[in-house]
A and B are shown apart, each in its own frame.
Chain A
Amino acid sequence: MKLSTRAYRWTGQISLLLTLLGIAAYLTVSNYLGDAERVFREGAVTEVVGHGPVEVAKVRWQLDSMQAYTRLVDEDKKEITMDHPAGSVIILVKASVTPLNGLKMNDGFSCEAKLRDDRGNVWEHTSVFGLDLPTYCGDDDRPIKRNQTGQIAQVYVVPASAVPHLVGIQVEDADYEVLRRVLLTW
């Protein structure tokens, strides 16, 4: 057998081996690496901004304030009854939202922010009636118009022990091609 034939064969065999090894390695780890959807669904934050403003899913968000309360009162200074167990604290977050061009709006739009702490805990907002600010973006009495900024309040009930850990609110764009989760910090 000639030396060149052997060299050809060796090159062929080694490159085939490398290709197969590469495919095997890729198939093994592809589930765990770089799957944006999986990373998103597991709750990862993709961007961290300060108070904002930041545009997420055609809504501009700005974080105005965050305050802890033990009780909330309505416009007539009467206590708002809400479910908050002993040892929990009410967190009131005020944010400015601006619906931008291109956003689907009929009878308002959906704007939802979740509260997040530095341990990865995420709290969903609690619905509260009677606050002097709207708590959702479809409030007929206090509508927010396109390209105009309105202020909303979001209310969360968290254990008191979590308060020092709170870092901000997260806003999501779960569109399959976008998959953004933006954290606005205090």
Chain B
Amino acid sequence: MGPLAGAALLGFLLWILVLRSFTGRRFAPALGATGAALPLLGVLGWSTRALADAFPVAGPAALAGDLALLFAAALAPLVAGAVAGAWSGGRRSPHRVAYAYVVPAMAGMGALVLVPFGLGVLLAFTRHHAGTFTWVGLDNFIDILSGGGQPLWAPLSFYFTLVVTLVWTGLNVALHVAIGLGLALLLRAPDLRFKGLYRVLLIVPWAVPNYITALIWKGMFNKQYGLINEVLGHLGVEPVGWFSSFWTAFAANLTTNTWLGFPFMMVVALGALQSIPADLEEAAEVDGASRWARFRHITLPLLKPALFPAVILGSIWTFNMFNIIYLVSGGQPEGATDILITEAYRWAFEQDRHGYAAAYSVLIFFILLAWSLLTQRATRAAEEAHG
């Protein structure tokens, strides 16, 4: 860690110097470019080396080395662009200042998010066996999308898991929004006593680390000693083996995730409600609009801009909610309640099929990308419609 820490410190100091010196003095652009380029080049250097060393690829040609070079080549224009941007800005353009502020975060993201992501994508085209990776082209994808040799609706097929994941995400987000918004509307009343107390107590689930939530709820749903079965017992219901059939296991996951997820939406909705002027609704009330009509035509449309980003973020988080599925149902029964992300994890770390798992993950990424592009479009259309 010694040299690395030193390098990091040096880079940091240099960067601060750059930030401070950007007041239009003569050497600022040159200094800025250097400051921005150094960490990036360093990152590139070691990641290339890391790549070449780390992937012993079967076959005489050191395919890994080539891939690494290819990857570095792909990144190089980015670096060049950043440097050129900082340079060409010169005296007249303010851009170099902006780059000086953005580059460190970008470099960090590049090194520890984009490079691993790129590596992961490369892995999706390989097959892993006993420490070596063999290039297999699109085989993994073909295998996955054709159902992996099983019927398309078998619990281990990609399509089955995809449907489970979509249902999981849709139900969760719907419940989070419905409960969160409902509570926010109740807590909004100006003269409600103890509302601060309710509010504080209701965000508790959000503050509990989610792996702890998951493990506790797993205990609650335990067949022998779980609290849920005990409550049901008092009502005269036989103990339910929650994790032995699909829907009950799914319900257990859903309950857990709803519990931990609604406070976020409640807080978002409360924040957004504050910004809605009360006189709008009062005016509508005077005009004789019913409660529901006021909510439907005034409150809801005004809430949308604030709720929308939260819903998109929430749906992405839920889609990839590894901890809950992995720790509560663990995919039981027989992998049926697994969502795509836990399924991919199993392929990688239980079946040791790293390439296959990577291909799974690439598919997950594209699904989410398509979803967010779609929603981005919707937001933009909505913004234009509203002027």
Q: Do A and B bind each other?
A: no
A contact set with B: CB distance below 8 Å: none
B: residues with CB less than 8 A from A are none
